[in-house]
Chains A and B, each alone.
Chain A
């Protein structure tokens, strides 16, 4: 093993491979920043080019793209409130308010630094703990997925700023939207209204662009008569240093968010979007001053970005040890491995140890390259918002249309994006936030699959109770759900009592 590691360290610094990896990271950042273009697409486009490369260089480049794309998603999220990838949904919550305050660079540097930290933690977990964690991931069966998504839905409490009732309605609406298309079990058609295109269901990215971006563009235009730009950004000296010093003082936040991200990544099927929402939720839960979240503080951005980049390393854990991809981009990486003649499993660490460890080391390095690029790029990228609204709004609309078409090459998706954009605009005016709706849409299919598959398992076992309530991980998740729902209720009762005695 040590021998392989030494070979690997030499390989990582091979100039040609290193250059390809850096290009991969940079290209990944651009793809990630553009809504509708995903890491999965970028990887699939690159795979044929790797046929003729050696295994080291090709895997290093693909890893770089994956890492870069995960970070790039934050750029559009912070600057124009549009998650470039679903994994950066939670980044919009505090990132965009920061931009509105003229602190875009603060947000971008925070994202670069926390992504780097999260990515390195995820990569280290991948490097040292893969086999035992992959075994643990297998313990996740349908009932666990069901309870995990129920636990995920308790995040609605955090996401509904203002009215809990509106948050719950939004969550239910999101769950309803997730049922459009062919039912995962039984194959029935639901809510397709006779359009064959709806068989495919609603694409998350399309709905995200609609709900998050269009209302903001409309708001920009509303304000246009008053001001020329949505906000202004003036480069200040020392912002980066100041932000990083501040973040270093919050190791618990960064490490907790990274561990949540890595854990969610290890569980196949739960991706970066769930990771970042959960990390954001826990950041709020453990914060002393909960009310500041959502108004534009770097903690929110840090939690989301640290976790979604830690998720990348996590998602490769079951891939390399078991051959089960933890997320869609990881599935493409599997294809690339097979083309190089490598089969996931123990032999990756023995027979192909030199290649595998090269890849794992390069993964750590790719995260550091990403940090450096993000760090120096932030102040230039932040200037985008200085464009006058008359230019910025059409560019953003143009990108959203291309993005929502590109994701599935489906024209109906563009119509859907506009439709949800208008709904988003109206709901925003009436005090609904998009967070709970999107959460319902993300978790709906996981909850439904888990529930129905568990029920089928229960039928076979002859006991529903046994399947749902007696499995150890399920029990832990149920307890977490109960705590998550009960804590706010208890604390609000306490506050009321406390308030009464003071009064």
Chain B
């Protein structure tokens, strides 16, 4: 009995410590930006622990803490492909103590395709965009297709008979497939999977013919896959032998961009402070080198550039969406 009485409070304290991140979001005070930040800042990840967004945030965490002088509490709010976290973000108090990682095209495509995504794209108030992954087309090493041309010719010969796997519906890989169909005038069979891992598994197991995947996944399997085309304007540094789509005559650019945002209406001075902290990391040479090795392209867009980029992408994606008849169900 004594032992239990002794252990129980410790256990309860530990739980508090572990969950404090999620609970501490409310009750911010309206002090001026001069003193900001005076307490821990929440950094919400819209995906599961251990995912790419999490790994990036964990890399930033110590540097942010040093620059801002306050602890950064990382917590996870996964669900709806990130939509749940972003819906929550736009309804938070704009006091600078709540920020969330965001992904493009997700924040543009979700409000386009669903009525009740819970947020609008222009409510996402960007602080910075710090990295991207490029979408590319891959086939297994033993595939008969050695070039993009082989692949497209095969698809032309038998429309709809070539399966192409990818992570999710209305995501980067899906968008890439739709654009490839449109540009090349072919018909493919897109098979969505619940993530990059099952899509890769299906490709390596020969269940799908090809895969549209993000660069951080494509660099993981150098001896098992051939990359036929990267949807970037220039060759991707971590995969120098993989040709771009553009070189091969198809003007397709699809990437997944990751950044961080605060609620709409946040004091510009606070945004400025956060922006500086994130830009410092984005311009760090060691971190940039690490990112490249892992298959990411380091990016350093400040708040203003990020906002413009989101606006520009929204225009492009809305057009593609409307022309492909994918809009709101």
Asked if A456 and B204 make an inter-chain contact with CB atoms under 8 angstroms apart, the answer reads no
B residues in contact (CB < 8 Å) with A:
1, 3-4, 8, 11-12, 14-15, 18-19, 21-22, 44, 48-51, 54-55, 58, 61-62, 75-81, 83-84, 87, 113-119, 160-163, 168-170, 189-194, 197-198, 200-202, 204-208, 220-221, 223-224, 294, 329
B residues in contact with A138, CB < 8 Å? 201, 204-206
A residues in contact with B87, CB < 8 Å? 196-197
Asked if A44 and B49 make an inter-chain contact with CB atoms under 8 angstroms apart, the answer reads yes
A323 in contact with B221 given A139-B205, A332-B49, A383-B4 (CB within 8 Å): yes
Asked if A409 and B15 make an inter-chain contact with CB atoms under 8 angstroms apart, the answer reads no
Asked if A456 and B117 make an inter-chain contact with CB atoms under 8 angstroms apart, the answer reads no
Q: Tell me which residues from 25 to 54 in chain A have a Cβ below 8 Å from any Cβ of chain B.
A: 30, 34, 37, 40-41, 43-45, 47-48
A409 in contact with B75 given A196-B117, A196-B118, A383-B3 (CB within 8 Å): yes
Asked if B22 and A30 make an inter-chain contact with CB atoms under 8 angstroms apart, the answer reads no
Contact of B50 among A332, A387, A408 (CB under 8 A): A332
Q: Tell me which residues from 46 to 69 in chain A have a Cβ below 8 Å from any Cβ of chain B.
A: 47-48
**Given A410-B77, A457-B163, 13 more contacts at CB 8 Å?**
A138-B204, A138-B206, A141-B205, A142-B202, A182-B80, A189-B115, A196-B116, A197-B87, A199-B116, A323-B220, A408-B78, A453-B192, A457-B207
The closest CB in chain B to the CB of A267 belongs to B201
A488 within 8 A of B: no
Expressed in whole angstroms, the minimum distance between the Cβ of B138 and any Cβ of chain A is 14
A213 within 8 A of B: no
How far is it, in angstroms, between the C-alpha of A338 and the C-alpha of B83 when the chains are bound? 28
The closest CB in chain B to the CB of A186 belongs to B169
How far is it, in angstroms, between the C-alpha of A197 and the C-alpha of B18 when the chains are bound? 22
A residues in contact with B21, CB < 8 Å? 409
Asked if A200 and B116 make an inter-chain contact with CB atoms under 8 angstroms apart, the answer reads no
The closest CB in chain A to the CB of B163 belongs to A460
B residues in contact with A459, CB < 8 Å? 160, 189
Asked if B79 and A380 make an inter-chain contact with CB atoms under 8 angstroms apart, the answer reads no
Contact of B191 among A325, A338, A457 (CB under 8 A): A457
A486 within 8 A of B: no
B residues in contact with A322, CB < 8 Å? 201, 204, 224
A200 in contact with B80 given A395-B8, A460-B163 (CB within 8 Å): yes
Q: How many A-B Cβ pairs are below 8 Å?
A: 182
Contact of A199 among B48, B55, B80 (CB under 8 A): B80
Give 7 nearest A-B pairs by CB, closest first.
A200-B79, A196-B118, A199-B80, A141-B207, A44-B49, A332-B50, A409-B22
The closest CB in chain A to the CB of B2 belongs to A383
A231 within 8 A of B: no
B residues in contact with A445, CB < 8 Å? 194
Asked if A30 and B14 make an inter-chain contact with CB atoms under 8 angstroms apart, the answer reads yes
Expressed in whole angstroms, the minimum distance between the Cβ of B137 and any Cβ of chain A is 17
Interface centre among A43, A44, A139, A386 (most CB of B within 10 A): A44
A–B complex contacts, Cβ < 8 Å, 20 sampled: A37-B18, A47-B55, A142-B207, A184-B192, A186-B169, A187-B168, A268-B198, A323-B200, A324-B200, A332-B49, A335-B55, A343-B220, A387-B4, A395-B8, A402-B15, A406-B18, A406-B19, A453-B192, A459-B160, A460-B189
How far is it, in angstroms, between the C-alpha of A343 and the C-alpha of B189 when the chains are bound? 31
Asked if A338 and B294 make an inter-chain contact with CB atoms under 8 angstroms apart, the answer reads yes
Asked if A449 and B80 make an inter-chain contact with CB atoms under 8 angstroms apart, the answer reads no
How far is it, in angstroms, between the C-alpha of A448 and the C-alpha of B160 when the chains are bound? 22
Expressed in whole angstroms, the minimum distance between the Cβ of B94 and any Cβ of chain A is 19
Asked if B191 and A456 make an inter-chain contact with CB atoms under 8 angstroms apart, the answer reads yes
How far is it, in angstroms, between the C-alpha of A197 and the C-alpha of B115 when the chains are bound? 13
Expressed in whole angstroms, the minimum distance between the Cβ of A190 and any Cβ of chain B is 11
A residues in contact with B79, CB < 8 Å? 181, 197, 199-201, 408, 410
